[in-house]
């Protein structure tokens, strides 16, 4: 197969930019699907509804007025005469267009119409009016230096020259069965759609293909796993293990005990463990993972515990050390900020077996880490790592048992499919002595009351989380932001309490520092985006305030709420929103994460911007597990049938699919 650089027009610079957005091969390129299409059908101001996305032609009537704000932001306003009336236009951060936007120039404005103010907040201004009434334009994820147009050109060049060589992962019999277009044609259409109908048809076809490959891998893995005795054989010193369990300062719940038993059985069995431990936030999954690691140690193997963030890794490390006090077990922490000289030593001791347990971020299996005898890998609060990462382990000659932990309860049917190749343990019961969390739904007008509730808690010496959907102001949005809230909170509480912020754009070290200061009580109010969603345990934090709560998925809200109620004091979660209170009422009335996930699943697709992290949705280029559930079920059935009926090893397609899984897994 040809390489990216063989494509006409792709030079070293373009190559570099393509790599930057994750495109390394021609196949990557042609499957870099548009994430949106702009249907450029001209709208009519008199018919347009409030908040409608509109495309409209017109002539510029007034000299654009440019305003500049801090942090390099700017905004331009002008009046536009259209066939259906005069309308105001504002656009952010396009100061560079000012010279082109002369009075009298014809432009096409694309954006959101505010009927009350008679203003379009434009996302785009095209410097020409449309020739056809309707045009469907693909919009790609780009990067600075690589425009939508560049991408479109490269993709079409690639399709022209190499379109025939792009592999099609749908077996022929299913292409026939469903009357699908061939791959090249489908790709051509998705990148250059002429009509909506054709586009819809190929989208389904490409989704089917992606899901087929996905389900094929899962079914294949499951089949292999069941067939082979491919795990480690081991004996666990149960007496020692019991001793450890007895040393835990609290009594395990029944669900915890059952989960531990499941895991021990898996460890002892000659098949490889591939288990998902699901449990609501605060249900106590961590101790289950610790016991598993001790069991693994007692059978003579090393364990690795991976957390999605450094903060969480550090917390697990400290906890684990505490639990293991008085044992000979040697635990280490390895993250991005481990000093180089320590890293060297840790690498060495991992490979000579001196270290028995290592806690860290994903780097634990990705870097050049060599283990002496890795027997157990646990990943926390992360959607399972992909088949490819498992292949990564395999390539190192490792076949550890694997335990995934997730606090995102997944609806049953959904889980059965997505985690179809895994066994599952579920913790439903909460540890005793937990105070329930009271949830309130408040409107923006009730903010004074909310501040009072916060003050009451602060005065008690407790701490407060405040969550906003955005970090700083952005175009098209008047949502709460971390930066604005910091100003407001400082005004309200700054005299007596320490306030700070944390968000995903901060450097890892800075985030950790803030988090530690919050955990140790130096900071009383922590304002944040959803970065604090996962795992962190600060028992003294008793209040969670979430602004624009309607912007978050129910599961995300539930996760956030799980950050409080971790100590012995009564906790509360305050959801602030003027809209969608019906959905938020579910939060008020339901505190079972599993029920919430069912509700969430039913409700999804309604513009949920932030809840997309769960369940590996991101792994797909075109399919969406939520919307495409039916296709998923179909591909599950089809791929299973295909795997079983055609058990010939020289089936080429099957080989191709299996190759991408890695034969030995
Ligand atoms: P999660 O399942 O969300 O990861 P954690 O494992 O962090 O929950 O547990 C939350 C808190 O509950 C921790 O402080 C932990 O020590 C405590 N805990 C766990 N199991 C029990 C138990 N059986 N009894 C009392 N406290 C427990
Ligand atoms: Mg946890």
Percentage of the residues of the chain whose pLDDT score is greater than 90: 51
Per-residue pLDDT band for 277 (boundaries 50, 70, 90) equals very high
Q: What is the mean pLDDT of residues 33-50?
A: 86
Convert the pLDDT of each residue in 335-349 to its tens digit.
888 898 999 999 999
DSSP 516: H
Q: What is the mean pLDDT of residues 385-406?
A: 69
The CB-side HSE value for 197 (13 A sphere, CA atoms) comes to 0
Residue 665 has a pLDDT of 36
Q: What is the mean pLDDT of residues 68-76?
A: 89
Residue 482 has a pLDDT of 93
Q: Is residue 34 over pLDDT 80?
A: yes
- The finding on whether 283 has its CB within 6 A of some atom of ligand 1 is yes
**E strand or H helix at 199:** helix 196-227
Sign of CA dihedral 220, 223, 229, 231: positive
Q: In the chain, where are the structural domains located? A: 1-35+137-166, 43-129, 238-427, 437-590
Residue 663 has a pLDDT of 36
Q: Is residue 67 over pLDDT 80?
A: yes
Per-residue pLDDT band for 569 (boundaries 50, 70, 90) equals confident
- The finding on whether 286 has its CB within 6 A of some atom of ligand 1 is yes
526/518 Cα distance (integer angstroms) = 7
Q: Which range among 112-116, 229-233, 488-492 shows the weakest confidence by mean pLDDT?
A: 229-233
Going from the Cα of 337 to the center of ligand 1, the distance in angstroms, rounded, reads 27
Q: What is the mean pLDDT of residues 237-243?
A: 94
Q: What is the mean pLDDT of residues 386-390?
A: 55
537/645 Cα distance (integer angstroms) = 50
Q: Which range among 159-163, 596-600, 634-638 shows the weakest confidence by mean pLDDT?
A: 596-600
Collapsing DSSP to helix, strand or coil, 345 comes out as helix
Convert the pLDDT of each residue in 86-98 to its tens digit.
999 999 999 988 9
Q: Is residue 413 over pLDDT 70?
A: no
Residue 610 has a pLDDT of 29
Nearest CA to ligand 1 atom 19: 284
Sign of CA dihedral 48, 53, 54, 60: positive
- Contact indicator for 283, 255 with CB cutoff of 8 Å: yes
* b/e code 342-367 from CB counts within 10 Å (16+ = b): ebeebbebbeeeebbbbbbbbbbbee
Spatial CA neighbour of 620 closest among 610, 609, 608, 628:
628
Average pLDDT score over the chain: 86
Q: Is residue 235 over pLDDT 70?
A: yes
Going from the Cα of 461 to the center of ligand 2, the distance in angstroms, rounded, reads 25
- Contact indicator for 181, 34 with CB cutoff of 8 Å: no
In terms of average pLDDT, the best of 140-154, 356-370, 438-452 is: 438-452
Q: Is residue 366 over pLDDT 70?
A: no
Nearest CA to ligand 1 atom 18: 284
- Contact indicator for 399, 231 with CB cutoff of 8 Å: yes
Q: Which range among 380-389, 398-407, 508-517, 595-604 shows the weakest confidence by mean pLDDT?
A: 380-389
**Pocket-testing residue among 309, 379, 431, ligand 1, by greatest number of atoms within 8 A of Cβ:** 431
Which atom of ligand 1 is least distant from the CA of 319? 16
Q: What is the mean pLDDT of residues 270-275?
A: 86
Q: Is domain 1-35+137-166 in CATH 3.30.360, yes or no?
A: no
| Angle at alpha carbon of residue 613, lines to 611 and 619, rounded to 5° | 135
- Contact indicator for 552, 527 with CB cutoff of 8 Å: no
In terms of average pLDDT, the best of 39-48, 430-439, 541-550 is: 541-550
- Structural tokens at position 65: 């007025």
CATH dotted code for 437-590:
3.40.50.300
Residue 653 has a pLDDT of 63
DSSP 542: E
* b/e code 567-585 from CB counts within 10 Å (16+ = b): bebebbbbbbbeebbebbe
Please give the biggest Cα pair distance in the chain: 87
Q: Is residue 172 over pLDDT 70?
A: yes
Residue 289 has a pLDDT of 97
Residue 608 has a pLDDT of 35
Per-residue pLDDT band for 566 (boundaries 50, 70, 90) equals confident
Residue 650 has a pLDDT of 53
**Pocket-testing residue among 252, 276, 279, 282, ligand 1, by greatest number of atoms within 8 A of Cβ:** 282
- Contact indicator for 641, 373 with CB cutoff of 8 Å: no
Per-residue pLDDT band for 355 (boundaries 50, 70, 90) equals very high
- The finding on whether 336 has its CB within 6 A of some atom of ligand 1 is no
In sequence order, what are the residues at sequence separation of 6 or more whose Cβ sits closer than 8 angstroms to the Cβ of residue 16?
A: none
Residue 103 has a pLDDT of 94
Same fold, 1-35+137-166 and 43-129: no
Going from the Cα of 66 to the center of ligand 1, the distance in angstroms, rounded, reads 55
- The finding on whether 565 has its CB within 6 A of some atom of ligand 1 is no
- The finding on whether 442 has its CB within 6 A of some atom of ligand 1 is no
Collect contacts of 467-470 with beta carbons under 8 A, ≥24 apart. Answer: 467/527, 467/528, 467/529, 467/530, 467/532, 467/544, 467/545, 467/546, 467/547, 467/560, 468/527, 468/528, 468/529, 468/547, 468/548, 469/529, 469/547, 469/548, 469/551, 469/552, 469/609, 469/610, 470/529
Residue 363 has a pLDDT of 75
Per-residue pLDDT band for 270 (boundaries 50, 70, 90) equals confident
Residue 664 has a pLDDT of 34
Fold type of domain 238-427: Rossmann fold (3.40.50)
Per-residue pLDDT band for 188 (boundaries 50, 70, 90) equals very high
Taking the alpha carbons at both ends of the chain, their separation in whole angstroms is: 26
43/38 Cα distance (integer angstroms) = 13
**Pocket-testing residue among 279, 281, 284, ligand 1, by greatest number of atoms within 8 A of Cβ:** 284
Q: Is residue 615 over pLDDT 60?
A: no
CATH dotted code for 43-129:
2.40.50.140
45/222 Cα distance (integer angstroms) = 56
113/90 Cα distance (integer angstroms) = 10
Q: Which range among 262-266, 361-365, 495-499, 588-592 shows the weakest confidence by mean pLDDT?
A: 361-365
Spatial CA neighbour of 166 closest among 31, 32, 34:
31
Residue 264 has a pLDDT of 96
Per-residue pLDDT band for 660 (boundaries 50, 70, 90) equals low
Residues belonging to the chain: 665
pTM for the full model?
Answer: 0.62
Residue 164 has a pLDDT of 92
Residue 524 has a pLDDT of 97
Strands 85-92 and 65-68: unpaired
**E strand or H helix at 256:** helix 254-268
Spatial CA neighbour of 431 closest among 282, 218, 637:
282
- Contact indicator for 274, 228 with CB cutoff of 8 Å: no
Q: What is the mean pLDDT of residues 97-107?
A: 91
Q: What is the mean pLDDT of residues 593-622?
A: 56
């Amino acid at each position: 197969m040809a390489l990216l650089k063989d494509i006409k027009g792709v030079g070293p610079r373009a190559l570099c930019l393509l790599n930057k957005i994750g495109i390394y091969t021609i196949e990557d390129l042609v499957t870099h699907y548009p994430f949106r299409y702009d249907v450029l059908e001209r709208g009519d101001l008199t018919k347009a509804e409030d908040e409608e996305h509109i495309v409209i032609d017109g002539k510029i009537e007034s000299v654009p007025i440019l305003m500049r704000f801090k942090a390099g932001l700017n905004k331009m306003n002008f009046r536009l005469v259209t066939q259906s009336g005069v309308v105001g236009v504002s656009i952010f951060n396009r100061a560079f267009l000012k010279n082109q936007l002369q009075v009298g120039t014809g432009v096409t404005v694309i954006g959101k119409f505010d009927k009350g103010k008679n203003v379009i907040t434009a996302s785009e201004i095209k410097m020409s009016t449309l020739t056809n009434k309707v045009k469907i334009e693909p919009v790609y994820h780009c990067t600075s230096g690589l425009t939508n147009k560049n991408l479109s050109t490269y993709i079409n060049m690639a399709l022209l020259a190499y379109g025939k060589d792009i592999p099609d992962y749908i077996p022929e019999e299913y292409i026939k069965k469903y009357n699908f277009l061939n791959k090249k044609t489908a790709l051509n259409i998705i990148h250059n759609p002429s009509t909506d109908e054709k586009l819809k048809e190929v989208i389904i076809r490409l989704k089917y293909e992606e899901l087929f490959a996905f389900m094929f891998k899962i079914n294949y893995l499951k089949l292999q796993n069941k067939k082979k005795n491919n795990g480690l054989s081991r004996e666990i010193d149960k007496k020692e293990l019991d001793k450890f369990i007895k040393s835990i300062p609290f009594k395990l719940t029944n669900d915890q005990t059952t989960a531990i038993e499941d895991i021990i059985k898996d460890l002892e069995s000659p098949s490889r463990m591939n288990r998902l431990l699901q449990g609501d936030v605060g249900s106590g999954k961590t101790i289950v993972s610790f016991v598993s690691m001790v069991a693994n140690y007692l059978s003579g193997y090393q364990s690795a515990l991976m957390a999605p963030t450094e903060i969480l890794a550090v917390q697990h490390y400290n906890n684990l050390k505490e639990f293991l006090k008085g044992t000979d077990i040697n635990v280490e922490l390895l993250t991005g900020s481990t000093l180089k000289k320590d890293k060297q030593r840790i690498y060495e001791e991992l490979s000579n077996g001196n270290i028995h347990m290592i806690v860290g971020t994903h780097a634990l299996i990705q870097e050049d880490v060599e283990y002496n005898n890795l027997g157990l890998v646990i990943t926390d609060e992360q959607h399972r790592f992909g088949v490819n990462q498992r292949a990564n382990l395999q390539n190192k000659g490792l076949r550890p048992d694997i335990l995934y932990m997730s606090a995102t309860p997944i609806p049953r049917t959904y889980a059965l499919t997505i985690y179809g190749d895994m066994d599952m343990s579920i913790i439903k019961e909460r540890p005793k002595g937990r105070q329930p969390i009271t949830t309130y739904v408040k409107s923006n007008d009730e903010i004074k009351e909310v501040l009072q509730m916060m003050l009451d808690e602060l005065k008690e010496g407790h701490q407060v989380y405040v969550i906003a959907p955005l970090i700083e102001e952005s175009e098209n949005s008047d949502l709460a932001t971390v930066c604005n809230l910091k100003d407001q909170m400082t005004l309200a509480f700054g005299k007596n309490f320490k306030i700070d912020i944390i968000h995903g754009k901060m450097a890892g070290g800075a985030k950790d520092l803030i988090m530690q200061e919050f955990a140790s009580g130096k900071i009383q109010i922590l304002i944040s985006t959803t970065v604090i969603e996962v795992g962190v345990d600060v028992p003294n934090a008793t209040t969670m305030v979430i602004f624009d709560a309607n912007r978050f998925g129910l599961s995300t809200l539930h996760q956030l709420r799980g950050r409080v109620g971790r100590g012995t004091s009564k906790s509360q979660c305050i959801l602030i929103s003027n809209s969608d209170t019906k959905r938020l009422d579910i939060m008020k009335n339901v505190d079972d994460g599993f029920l919430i996930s069912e509700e969430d699943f039913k409700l999804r697709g309604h513009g949920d911007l932030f809840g997309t992290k769960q369940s590996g949705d991101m792994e797909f280029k075109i399919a969406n597990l939520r919307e495409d559930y039916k296709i998923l079920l179909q591909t599950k059935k089809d791929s299973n049938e295909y795997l079983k009926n055609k058990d010939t090893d020289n089936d080429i397609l099957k080989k191709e699919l299996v190759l991408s899984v890695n034969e030995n897994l």
